[in-house]
Amino acid sequence: MLHDFATGLLRRMDPERAHRLGMTGLKLGFGPRDDAADPPVLATRLAGIGLPNPVGLAAGFDKNAEAPDALLAMGFGFVECGAVTPRAQAGKPRPRIFRLEEDEAVINRMGFPNQGLPRFRSRLAARRDRPGVVGVNLGANLDSEDRVADYVTCLEALQGLAGFFTVNVSSPNTPGLRTLQASGALDDLLEAVARVGSSVPVFLKVAPDILDEDAVVMVEAVRRHGLHGVIVSNTTITRPASLKSAYMGEGGGLSGPPVFERSTELVRVFRATAGPEMAIIGVGGVDSADTAYAKIRAGADAVQLYTGLVYHGPGLIGRIKAGLVERLQADGFASVSEAVGADLRRDSSAG
C-alpha cells in the first residue's frame, strides 16, 4: 500500500518532523481513504455512542484537532483529539520522542504541546455538523497552579462540540499530574467535572502503573461522580527487561508492544471490578487483529491505537478490522459486544 510505504519513509526522519509532515498531508487531503462500509458485525456501542467499528485513534496524534475528518476517513470508528490545555504551550524541550525500532515501541516526554483551547475550539466548531465520533482529551498546563480548574475550563468551553471527553490524569510527562489518580485528589477532580456536566460520555484515562487494587477505588469514583467509563491505559514509566533499543533509558512514557501485556491485564481487572455495564476502552500495544481482539475478550468495548501506526502504516486499520471479523465469526459471535469480556466469562465458568 502506497501510504504504508510513505510511513516507512517518514520513519527515517526525526519523529516530530515526520509527524508534522504527515499531519500536513492529511490536512491537504493526501491521506488514505477507506470508503467501504464496515461489516455489520463490527458495529458496536460505547457508553451509548454508536460506532461503525471498535477501532479508534488514541489521543496524541492529532493534538490540535487539525484533521479529525481525514483520520476518520482512514477507517477509524472514532478519533480522540488532544490533549488540549487552556493555554497554548510548547511542551518539554526536544528531543522528546524516541523510536525504539527493535521493540516497535516509542518513548515520549512531550508534556502536552498544543496550540491552546481557543484554536482547538474553533476547529471543532467548524466541523460541528459533520458525521463521525470525535472525542477530546482534556489536560492541564505544565505550569498550572490549579489543574482541576484547567480541566473544568476546557470541558466548559467544548460543550456541544465533542462526541466524548476524556479526563487525562495519567500522562507521566506533566510533573505531579498522576497524583490526581489518588483517591482524595481524584474525588475533587471528578466532583468538579460532574458540576460542569456533559451531554456526552466522559471517561477517565488511567495509567498502566497503578496497582490492581487501585481499580476498585477508581471504579467507585467514576460511578460516584457519574462518569461513563475508563480508558485503560496511558503510557508506562516502567521499562520491561525485554527492551532491546539503546533508547530504553530515556525518560518519558513508553508505548507499543512492551505495554500490551500489563494494559490488557488491567482491562481485565477493571472489567471484573466494574461488571458489564461500565464502558472500557483498551489501549496499549494494539498492532494487529490478535492484540485488538485480546483486549476485547479481556473486557474492552472498543480499542485505540497510535504507536502501531508508526510501524505498520494506515493499512493496519483495515487489517485489524478484517481480522476482527474473522475472529468474531470463528468464535460464533454475532457482534463485538458479544465478545466483550469473553475470557472473563470463560474463566468464571471453568472455575
Q: Cα(240)–Cα(47) distance, rounded to whole angstroms? A: 33
Look up residue 66 and give its amino acid: E
Grouping H, G, I as helix, E, B as strand and the rest as coil, residue 235 is coil
Write the single-letter amino acid at 123: R
Amino acid sitting at position 310: V
* Cell 494494559 belongs to residue: 263
The Cα–Cα gap between 97 and 230 comes to 26
Query: Rounded to an integer, what distance in angstroms lies between the CA atom of residue 302 and that of residue 351?
Result: 27
3-state DSSP percent of the chain in helix, strand and coil, to 5: 45, 15, 40
Determine whether 199 is an active site residue: no
State the pTM of this model: 0.96
Q: What is the pLDDT of residues 117-174, one digit of tens each?
A: 999 999 999 999 999 999 999 999 999 999 999 999 999 999 999 999 999 999 998 8
Contact 231, 206 (CB under 8 A): yes
Tens of each residue's pLDDT in the chain, 351 residues: 556 656 777 788 999 999 999 999 999 999 999 999 999 999 999 999 999 999 999 999 999 999 999 999 999 999 999 999 999 999 999 999 999 999 999 999 999 999 999 999 999 999 999 999 999 999 999 999 999 999 999 999 999 999 999 999 999 988 888 888 876 899 999 999 999 999 999 999 999 999 999 999 999 999 999 999 999 999 999 999 999 999 999 999 999 999 999 999 999 999 999 999 999 999 999 999 999 999 999 999 999 999 999 999 999 999 999 999 999 999 999 999 999 999 999 887 776
197 φψ region: left (φ > 0), alpha (ψ -120 to 50), beta (else): left
At what angle are helices 260-274 and 289-298 packed, to 10 degrees?
30
Residues 129-143 have pLDDT tens digits of 999 999 999 999 999
The residue from 144, 170, 171, 263 that is catalytic is: 171
